[in-house]
Structure 1
Amino acid sequence: MTTVDVMGRAAEAVESLSDHALARLLADSAGEVLLGLRAESGDLAPRQLKDEGDRRSQAHLAAGLGRYRPGDAVLSEEAGDDPARLEADRVWIIDPLDGTREFSEVPREDWAVHVALWEGGDLVAGAVARPAMGSTLATDAPPTAPEPVTGPIRLAVSRTRPPEFVERLAARLGAELVPMGSAGVKATAVLDGVVDAYVHAGGQYEWDSAAPVAVARSAGLHTSRIDGSVLRYNRRDPLLPDLLICRPELADQLLAAIEELTKGEAQ
């Protein structure tokens, strides 16, 4: 399925779409490309399916942005970095396939497509498509944060590489660990009410969190570094060491516990 096949259905209207709506359209249509690939994958080995998924989704998103926002810069996991983005006013930060492992393990659903826009120093629009779940969360229609719940705090954690830091944090808080796949799915699980927080301290890149953070903010969730400082994007080095996304009423408790934990490690 080509870019024209998927996006051509709305081609006449796309020119007038807001950045918010375009982020959703791009994420949704890339998701359709990836679902199509899964359906036709046949006997592809997991490694081949991962690589082809990255390639097709990247090509689709690059073509869409080139057609509908040709003057904007792009930072993508699957493309070489263009230093000119550092001088640009507008930069799309994309992860064409977040959770390649899960994507290759058909029929797993916990993988995503991330599309975010950075403008004037901050994230201004974003969409996280979860194609196999039939769900997209985006800033054009900000999701509603779930109601607070009682009981232990639930922390999203990697199903294959649960970080020791989060395990120690859970022990300190008496929290439950909920294993799941991609970064985007873990972050948006807070909005689904499946977990209460996503804490990551093992190092990520901007494309891993930009779209989830944009969507989480639009819903009123707390987003920050694990020391409480502001998340910054479109930096020279796109490595973003850590991240906290959580229900706003839990932010102080989580940040205090993280501070206690990190101070104890430093001693």
Structure 2
Amino acid sequence: MSSRTSIEPTPAGIDDHTLAHQLATDAGRLLLDVRRELADAEPRELKDAGDRRSQEFLATALARLRPDDAILSEEAVDDLTRLAAPRVWIIDPLDGTREFSEPGRSDWAVHVALWERGELVAGAVALPAQGITPATPQVGLGPQDSDQPLRVAVSRTRPPELAGTVCRELGGWLVQMGSAGAKAMAVVQGKADIYVHAGGQYEWDSAAPVAVARAAGLHTSRIDGTPLRYNQPDPHLPDLIICRPEHARAVLAITANRA
């Protein structure tokens, strides 16, 4: 079934930041259409259709607009020739498939990031059901509410013990939500203060959220404080911290000892 969304062709001369934003946004609009078209389908059918349609759209667009760049995607076979490529797009066509398949939930995302010669240089996280796509190069940081305890974003289905430890030791409270992108953007938006994950992720789970978080001035690192590195031979990148910079020292004092 074809999408009803009308997506205008992206100009070939568009810069990388704008391209990441537009591709993530357009993939998100397509996914909203998939959600409407398959509203009565079984959750597995909806999840599979969302993953497939978004992957097809993003892969086709990148092949047309950035034919010399490599791609690392959750929904495609990993072509290790990317390791010799100077530029690699790291994408998650649908992050938070469980939430995507649940009517009314908005905590799912599309991740589009560009790695170039060792660094994340552009990124966008579309939150289609919220109608926003935070993206590099400039991202506004939401205000912090200093009158309430620290809010620690955590998975609603697989909350890591470490996040609970951070929450207890800092006197905070847990904010449960789905997609990694949604949790990271909650910190950017000022809806959470800290996002700690441990226990299993891959590069496509965090590349775009980390690029956007950095553009907003947030702290990003592994839980032991070392840098997050991308386009590695093994894309497994199991843990991360994204938080407001004023909380980084306190969070790392807890997490580094448990890395």
Please classify the TM superposition score into its range, dividing by the shorter chain length.
over 0.9
Matched residue type, 1:241: P
Q: How does 1:128-207 map to 2 (within 5 A)?
A: 128-140=125-137, 142-150=138-146, 151-207=148-204
Structure having the higher helix fraction is: 1
Counterparts in 2 of 1:3 and 1:119: CA distance versus 1, 3 Å: farther
| Matching residue of 1:108 | 105
Q: How does 1:214-229 map to 2 (within 5 A)?
A: 214-229=211-226
Identity of aligned residues (%): 61
Unaligned runs of 5+ in 2: none
Which whole-Å CA distance do the structure 1 matches of 2:155 and 2:33 have between them? 26
Which whole-Å CA distance do the structure 2 matches of 1:2 and 1:147 have between them? 37
Q: How does 1:239-254 map to 2 (within 5 A)?
A: 239-254=236-251
Instruction: Name the TM-score, length of structure 2 as normaliser.
Output: 0.95
Which whole-Å CA distance do the structure 2 matches of 1:201 and 1:232 have between them? 16
* More displaced 10-residue stretch of structure 1: 19-28 or 150-159: 150-159
Does the Cα contact within 8 Å between 1:204 and 1:241 map onto a contact in 2? yes
1:169-227 CA-to-partner distances (Å, cap 9, x unmatched) read 21122111000111000011001111001000111000000000000101111000111
1:33 aligns with 2:19: no
1:6 aligns with 2:39: no
1:255 aligns with 2:252: yes
Which whole-Å CA distance do the structure 2 matches of 1:54 and 1:43 have between them? 17
1:92 to 83, 89, 103: 89
| Matching residue of 2:15 | 18
Does the Cα contact within 8 Å between 1:155 and 1:197 map onto a contact in 2? yes
1:208 aligns with 2:205: yes
Q: Give 3-state SS (helix, strand or coil) of 2:133's partner.
A: strand
Q: How does 1:55-70 map to 2 (within 5 A)?
A: 55-70=52-67
Does the Cα contact within 8 Å between 2:5 and 2:33 map onto a contact in 1? no
Size of the aligned set, in residue pairs, is: 257
* More displaced 10-residue stretch of structure 1: 66-75 or 165-174: 165-174
CA RMSD across the alignment: 1.6
Unaligned runs of 5+ in 1: none
